[in-house]
């Protein structure tokens, strides 16, 4: 019961990441409002949580529409009397190589993630300030916030904007004791691979993305050698929502098995027999661009 007495509002309540985070917040004692564009999705998530004896309510609203966000915050406060935490993951991805980028698709992605981030932060913070609550605001990023990705210009730009929005909001809200942090997952264990798996799976049709990686390539690059589960993200969200993280703000928690911090050229376990030392030994030393001697004859 690490969140006993707290109230959380989740924006984006699908059964993968948002629903799992809502479930874990509720399991730790929070009363949780789950909101989604799609009321049926929010209701399903709330029913899942309530069936297990925890407290949740379903709300419908669009996190990129200011009136909706203001209403969702107000409805949460009206129902539960306060708001201590929000978790936001709302947005719309469009994949496209930059040379083929459709302006409407670009604009939708660019306007969705950072705008939802700003609006949810703004209205949750206003309610927290009005009540004197030292709350916690959490945004879901992606490794896309930190790297370039083929066919991902819109998504990477949007998530990078959300990252710096969160950092700046953390500075704006520090004097009110409100914390703003982010969580960065890499590609998730399930769901993703039903859409973007390797050629061997039946029913697969190649995504129209050049230079895309296979599941096996991706897995080999993760030092902890598995994809993150939604529960891995939910534990990070519980920590950021709780008073255990009361001195952490403006931070990003990577939940990626070490992917972001590994030496980029190192692929754990993938070894052709030529390591960097033997390669160097067979290589000429150069000075001013000219070979001066062979390291090992
Ligand atoms: N699935 C992955 O592999 C992965 C990897 C890295 C990061 N992420 C990030 O995690 C978050 C959740 O991912 P997911 O896979 O669970 O996505 P999902 O598509 O399964 O769920 C997202 C939910 O948000 C809702 N939503 C979308 N736009 C909204 C809006 N404007 N207002 C209200 N609700 C809205 C959708 O209806 C959906 O229920 C996203 O921010 C995504 O970018 C996902």
User: Ligand 1 centroid vs 16 CA: distance in angstroms?
Assistant: 8
168, part of any domain: yes
Q: Whose CA is nearest to atom 23 of ligand 1?
A: 12
- Provide mean pLDDT across the span 156-172: 98
- Reported as a single tens digit per residue, the pLDDT across 237-254 is 999 999 999 999 999 999
128, part of any domain: yes
Pocket test for ligand 1, best of 17, 59, 236 (most atoms within 8 A of CB): 17
- Give percent above pLDDT 70 in the chain: 90
Task: Give the residues surrounding ligand 1 with Cβ less than 6 Å away.
Answer: 11-14, 16-18, 36-38, 41, 62-64, 89-92, 112, 116, 140, 142, 185, 187-188, 191-192
User: Ligand 1 centroid vs 90 CA: distance in angstroms?
Assistant: 6
pTM, to two decimals: 0.92
Is the pLDDT assigned to residue 39 strictly greater than 60? yes
287, part of any domain: no
What pLDDT score does 200 carry?
42
- Provide mean pLDDT across the span 102-126: 98
Q: Is 218 annotated in the active site?
A: no
293, part of any domain: no
Hey, what's the torsion of the CAs at 41, 47, 48, 52, to 10 degrees?
170
User: Ligand 1 centroid vs 65 CA: distance in angstroms?
Assistant: 16
Both structure tokens of 273: 């027999």
283, part of any domain: no
- Provide mean pLDDT across the span 131-136: 98
Domain that holds residue 13: 7-261
Both structure tokens of 103: 């302006």
pLDDT tier, 132 (very low <50, low <70, confident <90, very high otherwise) = very high
Q: Are strands 179-185 and 7-11 parallel, antiparallel or unpaired?
A: unpaired
* Least confident interval from 154-158, 204-208, 214-218: 204-208
289, part of any domain: no
96, part of any domain: yes
State which ligand 1 atom lies nearest to the alpha carbon of 12.
24
What pLDDT score does 191 carry?
46
DSSP-assigned states of every residue in 5-71: T-EEEEE---TTHHHHHHHHHHHTT-EEEEEESSHHHHHHHHHHHHHTT--EEEEE--TTSHHHHHH
Q: At 103, which CATH number?
A: 3.40.50.720
- Provide mean pLDDT across the span 92-116: 95
End-to-end CA distance of the chain: 66
Q: Whose CA is nearest to atom 39 of ligand 1?
A: 14
- Which residue's entry shows tokens 């039946």? 202
Secondary structure string (H, E, C) spanning 139-201? EECCHHHCCCCCCEHHHHHHHHHHHHHHHHHHHHHHHHCCEEEEEEECCCCCCHHHHCCCCCC
User: Ligand 1 centroid vs 294 CA: distance in angstroms?
Assistant: 54
297, part of any domain: no
What pLDDT score does 217 carry?
77
- Provide mean pLDDT across the span 16-35: 97
Both structure tokens of 291: 């070979």
Rg (CA), the chain: 22
Q: Domains in the chain: how many in total?
A: 1
What pLDDT score does 198 carry?
45
- Provide mean pLDDT across the span 168-196: 84
* Least confident interval from 40-44, 208-212, 283-287: 208-212
Residues 155, 218, 263, 288: which is the catalytic one? 155
pLDDT tier, 43 (very low <50, low <70, confident <90, very high otherwise) = very high
Pocket test for ligand 1, best of 9, 14, 60 (most atoms within 8 A of CB): 14
For residues 221 and 36, which has the higher predicted lDDT (pLDDT)? 36
């Amino acid at each position: 019961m690490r969140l006993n007495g707290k109230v959380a509002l989740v924006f984006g309540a699908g059964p993968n990441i948002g629903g799992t985070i809502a479930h874990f917040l509720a399991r730790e004692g929070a009363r949780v409002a789950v909101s989604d564009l799609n009321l049926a999705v929010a209701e399903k998530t709330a029913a899942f949580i309530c069936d297990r004896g925890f407290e949740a309510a379903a709300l419908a609203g669009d996190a990129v529409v200011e009136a909706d966000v203001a209403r969702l915050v107000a409805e949460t406060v009206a129902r539960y009397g306060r708001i201590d935490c929000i978790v936001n993951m709302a947005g719309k991805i469009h994949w496209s190589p930059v040379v083929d980028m459709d302006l409407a698709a670009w604009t939708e992605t660019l306007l969705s993630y950072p705008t939802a981030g700003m609006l949810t932060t703004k209205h949750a913070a206003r309610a927290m300030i009005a009540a004197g609550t030292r709350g916690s605001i959490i945004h879901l990023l992606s490794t896309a916030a930190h790297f370039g990705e083929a066919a991902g210009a819109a998504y990477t730009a949007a998530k990078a904007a959300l990252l710096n929005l969160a950092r700046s909001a953390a500075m704006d809200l520090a004097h009110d004791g409100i914390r703003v942090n982010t969580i960065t997952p890499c590609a998730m264990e399930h769901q993703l691979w039903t859409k973007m798996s390797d050629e061997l799976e039946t029913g697969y049709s190649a995504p129209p993305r050049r230079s895309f990686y296979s599941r096996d390539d991706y897995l080999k690059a993760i030092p902890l050698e598995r994809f993150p589960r939604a529960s891995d993200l939910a534990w990070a969200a519980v920590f950021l929502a709780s008073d255990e993280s009361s001195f952490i703000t403006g931070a990003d928690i990577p939940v990626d098995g070490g992917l972001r911090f590994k030496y980029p050229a190192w692929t754990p376990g993938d070894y052709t027999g030529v390591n960097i030392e033997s390669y160097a030994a067979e290589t000429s030393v150069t000075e001013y661009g000219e070979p001066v001697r062979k390291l090992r004859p």
